[in-house]
Amino acid sequence: MSNLINTYIAGGPAYMHPITLLFLFNLGVITYVIFNHLKKKSIDKKWIETIKHVGGLALAAGTIGTLVGLFLAFDALEASKEVIPFPVIMGGLKVALINILYGLFIFFISMIVYVAMKLKLQGKSVAS
């Protein structure tokens, strides 16, 4: 658990917090959709589309965070007057990828729920 927290912090709060907020928002929408589905209430298709779009937004935010991190890292490398050891450079690149991995994780969960709900709704409309 401590390792996850350290990884989250290493990803940079300025980039990780907005992605986390998108994740929490999407979990709320997913919960709402599943709750309404279990209660046999009609689900407006805009909520299912919202799941997909928020997941895509999390992926985009993760990509932006990664690109900004890489840009800053390469800028620091360029400005360095001394030779930086290869393992240090690779560690920096590894940290730069945290944002995109987090965004991909959220996007993956969103797409699984999106596809499952689309298939459920298609099954309902075909059966009706």
Q: Assign 44 a pLDDT band (cuts: 50, 70, 90).
A: confident
**Distances, alpha carbon 93 to alpha carbons 45, 67, 75, 84, 106, in Å:** 40, 11, 13, 13, 21
Q: What is the pTM of this model?
A: 0.85
Q: For residue 93, what is the enclosing H or E element?
A: helix 86-96
Q: What is the DSSP letter of 83?
A: P
Reply yes or no on whether the pLDDT at 77 is more than 90.
no
8 A C-beta contact, residue 26 and residue 110: yes
Please state the rounded mean pLDDT for residues 28-53.
92
Please identify which residue in the block is written with the tokens 């030779």: 83
Q: Assign 54 a pLDDT band (cuts: 50, 70, 90).
A: very high
CA–CA dist 110, 114 (Å, integer): 6
Please identify which residue in the block is written with the tokens 């409309």: 125
CA–CA dist 59, 53 (Å, integer): 10
63-74 confidence digits (pLDDT tens): 999 999 889 888
Q: For residue 36, what is the enclosing H or E element?
A: helix 13-38
